[in-house]
A = this chain, B = another copy of it.
């Protein structure tokens, strides 16, 4: 156990004695915080970086996943922090192949927040839970003084049931897998940034926030052995693919021109100096399936409302294990790096 009473930060934490925004960005710094601070402090060995834990429970297996939502602003084109809080946790559960059943909701509300705003958020949570078919079963509300919070922060934690035989996790990615995406990327991040105070611009882009467990059920119904599912939220497709490549020690090759980046997202990213591969999605999933089953899975995805834009974007290789590369439009190859810190703070 580390002695935090007399502790100095190890070099991987970027030589800072204090938390910086990048530690919450879902990229390399977030990973370092887990590896160098939380795991030693918890006395845990590094486990797989899955979106939800799959655990034994009398009579079967359950999946458990938690996320706190601090998106700013709380209302944005296409949704609100309430929609994200339900769909984000539903999706994390779905990415382990589990069927989401129950959600808890816990609020940290800043004193002075309008009750009407809290009510709108709670209504969005209720509506999203009904749409996803999950039950809101327990909750908590704390209030903090002015200056100690920012509107409403919401934690949702979800429980799902994992069917016998289902085994979907990052380390199962294997050379020969096709890498599929369920639709356009970068949409959520651009939608939120377009209404961020001080940065308003008009894109017409609305958040893709959506519950994906129905899409996952349709994918599993193909009987193709799915190896990995992942929703590329904070840190975008780049962070998710890098985590999978490292966890499974496989290479991943993308074809840049196959990436579905809507024109409005490409324009906004160019304006803001962002890489669409690093921008958050809230209603998309990546699927790794054996190439022989890829067409069947793509067809199933395209038959679902949340998978209409599904396409193959790359493949898993035995070459360059742990590294993600992209073939560029000009015929060259570039490394798709893990984002370091926080490209878009408070995006979810």
A residues sitting closer than 8 Å to B (CB atoms) are 1-2, 4-5, 7-9, 13, 16-25, 30, 33-34, 37-38, 41-44, 52-53, 55, 57-60, 62, 64-70, 72, 101-102, 104-116, 118-120, 122-123, 125-126, 129-130, 135-145, 147-150, 153, 155, 157, 159, 161, 342, 345-346
Name the residue of chain B whose CB is nearest to the CB of A82: B41
Cross-interface CB contact of A107 among B68, B135, B346, cutoff 8 Å:
B68
Name the residue of chain B whose CB is nearest to the CB of A120: B4
> Which residues from chain B contact A70 at a C-beta distance below 8 Å?
108, 142, 144, 148
Name the residue of chain B whose CB is nearest to the CB of A25: B143
Whether the pair A108, B111 counts as a contact (CB closer than 8 A) is no
Whether the pair A2, B67 counts as a contact (CB closer than 8 A) is no
Query: For the complex, would chain A's binding face be called helix, strand, loop or mixed by DSSP majority?
Result: mixed
Shortest Cβ distance from residue A105 to the other chain B in the assembled complex, whole angstroms: 7
Whether the pair B123, A19 counts as a contact (CB closer than 8 A) is no
Cross-interface CB contact of A68 among B16, B114, B142, cutoff 8 Å:
B142
Cross-interface CB contact of A57 among B33, B38, B62, B106, cutoff 8 Å:
B62
Give Cα A295 to B125, complex, Å: 46
Cross-interface CB contact of A55 among B44, B53, B102, B153, cutoff 8 Å:
B102
Give Cα A150 to B110, complex, Å: 11
Closest 4 CB pairs of A and B: A59-B59, A24-B143, A41-B122, A157-B157
Give Cα A55 to B24, complex, Å: 33
